[in-house]
Structure 1
Amino acid sequence: MTSTDLAALPYRRPGRFRALVVLVLLETALVVSWSAGFIGVRFASDHAPIFLILLWRSLVSGLVLLPFALLMGPKLRGKDIAFQMLLGALAMAGYLSGFALAISFGVPTGLVALITDMLPLAVAFLSWPMLGQGLTGRQWIGSLIGLAGVLIASGWSLGLGNVAWWAYGLPVLGTLSLALATLLQKRSPVNAMPVYQSLCIQCLSAAAIFAVPAWHEGGVLPVMNASFIGGILWLAFIATFAAWGLYYLALRKSSPARVTAILYLSPPVTMIWAFLMFGEPLSWAMAAGLLVSLVGIVIVARARPADCS
């Protein structure tokens, strides 16, 4: 090793450590803000129809981002806009309507969070035909361990009740929709578009989709009370700007398998949010499940993706 190499060595390791710290902080913020979406929908659904909530969540988010998307980003091209509209239909309209409708039909929030956090398995299912990639044995083991932790943490809330059987399929369809959008986003050259531009287009396109069922539910005008407005602001600024912005940012800095594995933590965190906001009881099962999930996440995060091409 030369003197030049020795001089450079102390600067490389701190740089890698800082990058790791930034990634961990990014993923922590993603889990918290992602979990906030379930709580926001639960709160707002007591004050307005579900599609009206989704319409105004998406519309407010898109309109806030619109000036930045038009004035600060690169020039928008037609094919880029069309692709982001497709992502908006899949990742926004498809995913959000799937889990929000399930909650509105009475599926327990913990169960909805559990089903949607099977996203890594949905990504793995679609990765081979779309990317020519599969998960390694180590990644599969880590994913299953993470899923087991979620089952432990969420087990106390899995009562079926008197909910129609088909309602449990709604978050499954939403999760598959998000998995498809995730893989399309990862392999597309449109990744160069700034997050605030892509998120703006996706939100506005989802709002246009949500407007149709909202109209059939009774109209598209907002409910003018503090609870509805507060719920929409919560969903727009925390569950949309923070969660989706961090989600796409994490996708650019890491792999789909790692990012989606991190979301295994959202059911336990969702229960913490529910305890803080609604006084729902916590359990030892959540603490045990959280530790098991962390083990699975570490295994997935440290494994290298397989190349099945």
Structure 2
Amino acid sequence: MTEPLRPSVTAQHHPLLWPFLATLLIIGWSSGFVGIRYANQEASVMLLLFWRTLLSGLILLPFALAIGPRISMRAVRDQALFGVMAVFLYLGGFALAIEQKVPTGLVALISDLLPLAIAALSQPVLGERLTKRQWLGTAVAVVGVLIVSFDSLGFGTAPVWAYGLTVGSMLVFAVASVLHRKRKTQHMPVHQSLCIQTLTGSVLFGLCALTQGSLAPPMTRDFAIGMVWLVLIATFLAYAVYYTSLRLFPVAKVSAAIYLSPPVTMLWAWMLFSEPLTVAMFAGLAITLVGVWVTSRG
């Protein structure tokens, strides 16, 4: 884990750094839908997540060993814990909920409330007190997300525990994000920490996938395209930018950018899969933009 830098110093010297990182974060966070959409018809979600995390970790492994400080066992233990929380429990929890027939729209809505949970934890855990402006921006962004997600909401026929699983997964990631910001351990570059976290996730996802059958990947074009997208964009770009941003800026400010992921995901779906766009979606996008802008300024 890397020790957080002082946000005020970074913001003074690099006024365009946050808009740049926020743009990359939104693109990476929302693009996970694209890879899943391409590959999900070829394999179960657990098999998808196994290969996504395994390939990500193996690609990063030689760089993690050759570049950066020597990795201690304490650092491995700390990062493995975050791998369990931010990779296995978060991604796996939502994937399992969807497999249990929790409506995708409802899962997405609960996931998109992650910044609200992080904002609530920031003050008691980190001492990062949100201003009235930031709370107002958060409320406006939540309203925008609700408008965007309204058409896809439903309760379906999933068991009760599956709905609780979606809330629990979101809260686990919120806690992991706040702890990542709080803990001050030996400096570890993002590529090393992400390598340990994804390899930890791959072991756990592999065990889950084994209970469903073989770990062999489908040798199809769609699965390969989905894996490339999930590894390069949804994993390397999204997680690397997210953890880098957490070290440079207040956690509530970073997490607020995630509110823009659902409308951007819908734009992805419109461009790539010809899914329809509605007036309500554009209205929700505009309101969400206002909320994120107000929160970031605060």
Q: Would you call these one fold, judging by a TM-score over 0.5?
A: yes
Q: In the alignment, which of 116, 122, 126 is matched to residue 121 of structure 1?
A: 116
Cα deviations by residue, 1:233-290 (Å, 9 ceiling, x for unpaired): 2111110001101111111121110011110001101111111221110111111111
Work out the CA distance in 1 between the residues paired with 2:101 and 2:269. Answer: 16
Deviations 1:31-79 (A, max 9, x none): 0110011332233221101111111000000000000000011100111
Task: Give the letter aligned to residue 54 of structure 2.
Answer: L
Aligned-pair distance for 1:191? 7.0
State the 1:129 CA deviation.
Answer: 4.4
What is the number of residues matched between the two proteins? 289
Would the aligned equivalents of 2:137 and 2:292 in 1 still touch at CA under 8 Å? yes
Bigger Cα displacement from structure 2, 119-128 vs 65-74: 119-128
Residues 207, 226 of structure 1: alpha-carbon distance in 2 compared, 3 angstrom cutoff: same
| Counterpart contact for 2:145–2:262, Cα < 8 Å | yes
Question: In 1, Cα distance between the equivalents of 2:13 and 2:269?
Answer: 33
Shift of 1:165: 4.3
Partner in structure 1 of residue 166 of structure 2: 171
Q: Is the 1:43–1:231 contact (alpha carbons within 8 Å) kept by the matching residues of 2?
A: yes
1:208: which partner in 2? 203
Corresponding residue of 1:287: 282
Question: Which one of the candidate residues 216, 221, 226 is aligned to 1:221?
Answer: 216
> Which has more radius of gyration?
1
Q: Return the letter of the residue paired with 1:247.
A: Y
Say yes or no: does 1:52 pair with 2:38.
Answer: no
Residue among 172, 177, 185 paired with 1:182: 177
| 1:235-246 matches, cutoff 5 A | 235-246=230-241
Greater mean alpha carbon deviation, residues 279-288 or residues 187-196:
187-196
Give the corresponding residue for 1:104. 99
2: distance between equivalents of 1:162 and 1:16?
48
Match of 2:36 in 1: 41
The answer as to 2:151 corresponding to 1:149 is: no
Deviates more, 1:108-117 or 1:25-34: 108-117
Structure 1 residue runs of 5 or longer lacking an equivalent are 1-14, 304-309
With structure 2 as the length reference, what TM-score do the two structures score? 0.90
Rounded Cα–Cα distance in structure 2 between residues aligned with 1:109 and 1:134 = 33
| Contact 1:114-1:151 within 8 A present in 2 as well | yes
The correspondence for 2:84, drawn from 80, 89, 99, is 89
TM superposition shift of 1:167: 3.0
Superimposed CA distance per residue, residues 140-196 of structure 1 (whole angstroms, 9 cap, x where no aligned partner): 221111000011112111133444444333332211111111011101123721100
Name the residue aligned to 2:126.
131
Residue segments in structure 2 that go unaligned for 5+ positions in a row: 1-9
Residue type of the alignment partner of 1:189: K
Change (3 A) 1:197 1:145: same
Once residues 60 and 11 of structure 2 are traced to their aligned partners in structure 1, the CA distance between those partners, rounded to angstroms, is 33
